Structure 1
Amino acid sequence: MNKLLLGCLFFILIAFDASAQRQDYISTIDQQNHWVDSVFNKLSRRRKIQQLLFVRAHTNLGLKYEDSVAKVIKKEQLGGVVFFQGGPVRQADLTNRYQKLVKIPMIITMDGEWGLGMRLDSTISYPYQMALGAIQDNNLIYKMGQYVAYDFKRMGMQMNLAPDMDVNNNPNNPVINYRSFGDNKYNVAQKGIAYVQGMQNGGILTTAKHFPGHGDTDVDSHFDLPQLTFNTTRLDSLEEYPFREAIKAGISGVMVAHMNIPALDSTKNLPSTLSRPIITGVLKDQLGFKGLIVSDAMGMKGVVKFFPNGQADVRAFIAGNDVLELSENSRRAMKMIKKAIRKGEIDEKELDARVKKILAAKYWVGLNQYQPVNTANLVADLNRPDALALQQELADKAVTLLKGDTIIQKLDPGKRTAIVSIGATAPTVYQQELAKTFTNSKMYFVSKDAQAPDMNSILQDLKGYDQVIIGIHDNRLRPASKLDFSNNVKLMIADLAAYPNTVISVFANPYTIAGLPGIEKSGALLACYQKEAPMQKAAVRIITKQIKAAGRLSVSVNTYFPNGAGIVAGVNP
């Protein structure tokens, strides 16, 4: 079967699946449902509470760890599992094993902001959201959502803890940053909604995070409690904007951040996850959200630092969360929540409503007719040709030409060309692809901590070339906003930028451009957002004039390159 036919078949299956979902999840919550009622009516108070708790799972930590999770699931009959690092076949097998241990099928979920590749080896990673923010065609983001939904369902998962809908207006944000669609609230909302609708029409639940907005913080809530000190006007008009729009568009879930927000709740050191004024007062009552409210991980320092020993769990429940994700001790959490209900700290009717909401979600994703994962051809299905083609298309549409369209048009494949990779010690995809067109070329490598004599020698050598094409590569696992290059290497980049006919592609977080003074003098400059091969190939395709640049900068880098900068089809914005 050829690739075109496979692609057509895939879209027919998606279209059929979307049409099979007669209603969106939100509209089903308050409807009478025989399966939901029959399951709910058999639950004791303890069993109801257990439906709220989702446990952590891995497939890269060995059999002993897997067995320990299995014991917890079997004994406590939990509502869901959140998978982290591992492999697709191992996870599918473990999902099948875990689902056999419960009487009510569990919701299986994962952080898949850029697809399965965020957690699993041997699977596809689509571009990070900051790169997606540069794409001008939101239909492509929707399509990505459909593909991610297919992958999740193929893996036996029903919920994606994505997208990130934080407005990243702090370049030094240590935890959101490249995970955000950018610093423009309208673009964040539009991209996030397109992604959500693609996934939900593909049949999975989604979760906008991290309400009410984690973008303007300089503290990672995994390690401490960030504080958002803005007034309610600012929070309402900026941070909450994408979430408000997503709620209007029918998003099925919202994840609440661990942040202290005095303007919304003045309780000292209280994380938003534990705040009833924020969750019930703002999210439910003011914004009218009726879907699943999911806590951020309940073991993070941002929540347990000031509320240890299970206090966080019970306060998160009282605050209004439907799903308590990754409690430090789910058995303890269940007991403390049960005690709080018995003492009248919260009405049991709220528990009943939340449990029914979770059961309605399970029904909506088809867990009332649960089927185990078929692992035959699993890896091939997850790496199908049309998905790889979409991965490249997204990269092609994201790469942003910040300056130098005329320089690129003048590049001559026959002239002596130096192809330089900075931050690399071996030939890069960028260099190898460029060499196919620029046949009269030589490759150079400059490590991120290269010594001055070596750099001076290369600088002298490069003066003998007609044109110099450079790639700046951040090869760290995640693209931080500042490069870890030595100062001497950064100075070398400035020197190279001043050479005539120099083209520079930055395969790194776009914020890194601000830390490379002088780079704006280069003949041509491309923001490529991240290090992965599809971005390198996309940059080459622009430089070799196979495609036209189409991206616009998703964040403001500096005065030279503000949000929206980018030469599209040879015309400045």
Structure 2
Amino acid sequence: MPMIRLPSVLLLLTLGCAPAASPPTAASPPTAAPVQAPSAAADGLDAEQQAWVDSTLASLTLRQKAGQVVFGWTGGEYVAADSPEMDRLLEMVERDGIGGLVISMGLPHSYAAKLNALQRRAPVPLLVTTDMENGPGMRLAGGYALPSLLPLGGGTSFPPVMALGAIGSDSLAYQVGRVIGREARAVGVHLTFGPVLDVNSNPLNPIINVRSFGENAGEVARLASAMSRGIRSAGLLSAGKHFPGHGDTEADTHIGFAAIRADRARLDSVELVPFRAAVRAGMDGMMVAHISMTGLEGPEAAPASLSPAITRDLLRRDLGFGGLVFTDAMNMGAVIRRYGQREPLLLAMEAGADVLLQPIDPREAVDAVVAAVQAGRVTPERLDGSVRRILAAKARAGLHRRRTTELDSVEAVVGARPHGELAQAVAERSITLVRDEAGQVPLAPGRRVLSITYAQPSDIMAGRAFDRELAAGGWTVASARVDDRTPADEYARLRALADSADVVVASAYVMPREHSGTVGARGGFPALVQSLATAGRPVVAVSFGSPYLVEAFPAVPAYLLAWGGAEVSQRAAARALAGEAAIGGRLPVSLPPRHPLGTGLTRPVRTAPGHP
């Protein structure tokens, strides 16, 4: 998916087994507007829906049909009705007749108001899509005004889905999906690009990592299917990604070429397992990745999104998928650098894609499809098939009856208290204690804690809730923050401070980020943690992101995983260290050579404050 635009005056932060006790329910307040649930079958329409699809398709000109397969980008921020940005959007919607939108970050009411305005002007209802992998808060704000850091409120933020892999509960995965569905539909979104069906089998993968449920294909299939059922139960369509599996790559397709070298036997036993399960479950859509399947098609293989052998033959024919096929964003480096701007659009159509997602120039994309049909490169029947599937998805979302959302119902659903309680329960139950050689966890009461936070400068909230929660638990907390550019003399100062602390808590906020090319801690932070550990200092390393960071400081005696940097995860990790919450997560990935899949130490809740 594309990079997020950050407004200059508002920083929007992206916070992507059976339960031991009954978790909070995900039900929203009864004032929420009801939403029609999608049909369980990919092509299952009732008579009314089918009649609308048939009549709408018959009414469209060639150019209008071409517009339907193009989905343009918009931010979720507020725009005035007569602003240049609204002019741009209305040109896409009215003049170019695009079929849908992919919407990025914004505040809930801004989302709903903007989408309502565009829906009222669209000749055919727009199918609105977005990415809410780890909760609505990923797109619906999670924002803070600068410089005051005043929270602006927004959607519910969950930990990344690998946290659900650490819990292993179908019920919780379903409930998270249901919250995503309810909040997305409340603001006018109809389809989410998720769940992620990738099996993260490669620790060096720079872009999937904690966005995956784990490395066991069967567990990924089970948990993703449960989440998808929850999403669809709330009326939101679901499109799995990134077909045919992005978990075993070592490159980021936002930047350039990424390849899967697996042969068909390996794909059938690992990568394709969750996708087959999703097809059987009737998933509405699939996003095809810009990854080259060199193990199947040779060293010169085109990206899967542009390959008939992958979309038409493997996905459609072999897996039997009849739903909506999306390309990944068509402005990404993996296609633009190799093929230019226009040609990959037509290659994707020829390969079998239904939706050209986020081209650089939507009008040029529409023109290209029209020209391809007129020249015989794309047949009218081929185009009609895609348009019919797009219209069918719109009908399943109920857009043939109603295309706008009620602004008054947004605050009754988005960020509702039960949703936040569910997010906190998921965060706490996912905490995983990988090792604790000296029995430091939970921390002994009354100690002096040096809390060192490693995070990118843009992640201004990293460590704030965590340190605040630790201090509230009765410890004397000295806080420090480092990043890739921290100078050596600052690390020397921190080593000296560590000598006067009873315990050093070294926290790293390292998540997969587009265009970064790596998921690792850089600069002097790993060396600091490793040196403190080898010197025998009591150190607890906490990863608020990638579980594989322990490889950078293998001598650390205690290693705790919180999976993501959202405030719910920061609070959960602090509560676990304080003994105020039980620890029971299990590794959904292996951390060789010491920690196999399923590793996880358990810790009960302390019986009373100040007592072990």
- TM, length-normalised to structure 2: 0.82
Map 1:192-211; keep pairs closer than 5 Å: 192-211=224-243
Determine the structure 2 residue equivalent to 1:3. none
Map 1:316-335; keep pairs closer than 5 Å: 316-335=348-367
Q: Within 1, Cα distance between the matches of 2:542 and 2:192?
A: 33
Determine the structure 2 residue equivalent to 1:432. 468
Preserved CA contact (<8 Å) 2:119 2:403 = no
Q: Within 1, Cα distance between the matches of 2:499 and 2:598?
A: 36
Q: Deviations over 1:350-387 (max 9, x none)?
A: 32222222111111111011242332363563121111
The 3-state SS of whatever aligns with 2:500 is: helix
Q: State the Cα distance separating 1:13 from its structure 2 match.
A: 8.0
Q: Give the alignment partner of residue 283 of structure 2, picking from 242, 246, 251.
A: 251
The 3-state SS of whatever aligns with 1:278 is: helix
> Please, which moves more after superposition, 164-173 or 20-29?
20-29
Preserved CA contact (<8 Å) 1:420 1:443 = yes
Q: Give the alignment partner of residue 325 of structure 2, picking from 283, 293, 301.
A: 293
Q: Please say if 1:21 is aligned against 2:18.
A: no
Q: Please say if 1:75 is aligned against 2:95.
A: yes
Determine the structure 2 residue equivalent to 1:418. 449
Q: Within 2, Cα distance between the matches of 1:527 and 1:427?
A: 14
Preserved CA contact (<8 Å) 2:495 2:532 = no
Determine the structure 2 residue equivalent to 1:484. 522
Distance of aligned partners of 1:82 and 1:453 in 2 relative to their CA distance in 1, 3 Å threshold: closer
Q: Within 2, Cα distance between the matches of 1:41 and 1:378?
A: 35
Determine the structure 2 residue equivalent to 1:117. 137
The 3-state SS of whatever aligns with 1:10 is: coil
Q: Within 2, Cα distance between the matches of 1:409 and 1:95?
A: 48
Preserved CA contact (<8 Å) 1:473 1:531 = no
Q: State the Cα distance separating 1:477 from its structure 2 match.
A: 9.0
Determine the structure 2 residue equivalent to 1:144. 176
Map 1:276-355; keep pairs closer than 5 Å: 276-355=308-387
Q: State the Cα distance separating 1:244 from its structure 2 match.
A: 1.2
Map 1:74-93; keep pairs closer than 5 Å: 74-93=94-113
Q: Within 1, Cα distance between the matches of 2:26 and 2:596?
A: 39
Q: Please say if 1:530 is aligned against 2:596.
A: no
Determine the structure 1 residue equivalent to 2:86. 66
Query: In percent, how many aligned pairs have the same letter?
Result: 29
Q: State the Cα distance separating 1:568 from its structure 2 match.
A: 3.8
Q: Within 2, Cα distance between the matches of 1:421 and 1:517?
A: 18
Q: Deviations over 1:258-301 (max 9, x none)?
A: 12223444593522111112111110000000111111111222
Determine the structure 2 residue equivalent to 1:389. 421
Determine the structure 2 residue equivalent to 1:495. 532
Q: How many pairs are equivalent?
A: 554
Q: Within 2, Cα distance between the matches of 1:22 and 1:456?
A: 57
Preserved CA contact (<8 Å) 1:254 1:292 = yes
Q: Within 2, Cα distance between the matches of 1:383 and 1:223?
A: 34
Q: State the Cα distance separating 1:442 from its structure 2 match.
A: 4.5
Higher relative contact order (CA 8 A, sep 6+): 2
Q: Within 1, Cα distance between the matches of 2:339 and 2:492?
A: 55
Preserved CA contact (<8 Å) 2:192 2:237 = yes
Q: Give the alignment partner of residue 252 of structure 2, picking from 210, 216, 220.
A: 220
Q: Deviations over 1:63-96 (max 9, x none)?
A: 3233212112110211101112333222222111
Preserved CA contact (<8 Å) 1:82 1:108 = yes
Preserved CA contact (<8 Å) 1:36 1:356 = yes
Give, as a single letter, the amino acid of the residue that structure 1 aligns with 2:61: S
Q: Deviations over 1:387-407 (max 9, x none)?
A: 111111110111101133982
Q: Deviations over 1:24-70 (max 9, x none)?
A: 14141597822212212212232222211111111449632332121
Q: Within 2, Cα distance between the matches of 1:516 and 1:409?
A: 18
Give, as a single letter, the amino acid of the residue that structure 2 aligns with 1:506: S
Distance of aligned partners of 1:158 and 1:492 in 2 relative to their CA distance in 1, 3 Å threshold: closer
Give, as a single letter, the amino acid of the residue that structure 2 aligns with 1:250: G
Q: Within 1, Cα distance between the matches of 2:171 and 2:226?
A: 7
Q: Within 2, Cα distance between the matches of 1:143 and 1:189?
A: 16
Q: Give the alignment partner of residue 117 of structure 2, picking from 80, 97, 107.
A: 97
Q: Please say if 1:40 is aligned against 2:43.
A: no
Preserved CA contact (<8 Å) 1:459 1:496 = no
Q: CA RMSD in A?
A: 3.1
Distance of aligned partners of 1:183 and 1:329 in 2 relative to their CA distance in 1, 3 Å threshold: same
Q: Which has the higher helix share?
A: 1
Distance of aligned partners of 1:33 and 1:380 in 2 relative to their CA distance in 1, 3 Å threshold: closer
Determine the structure 2 residue equivalent to 1:443. 478
Map 1:550-561; keep pairs closer than 5 Å: 550-561=584-595
The 3-state SS of whatever aligns with 2:270 is: helix
Q: Give the alignment partner of residue 106 of structure 1, picking from 100, 118, 126.
A: 126
Determine the structure 1 residue equivalent to 2:575. 541
Distance of aligned partners of 1:27 and 1:68 in 2 relative to their CA distance in 1, 3 Å threshold: closer
The 3-state SS of whatever aligns with 1:183 is: coil
The 3-state SS of whatever aligns with 2:300 is: coil
Q: State the Cα distance separating 1:159 from its structure 2 match.
A: 0.5
Distance of aligned partners of 1:324 and 1:496 in 2 relative to their CA distance in 1, 3 Å threshold: same
Preserved CA contact (<8 Å) 2:511 2:564 = no
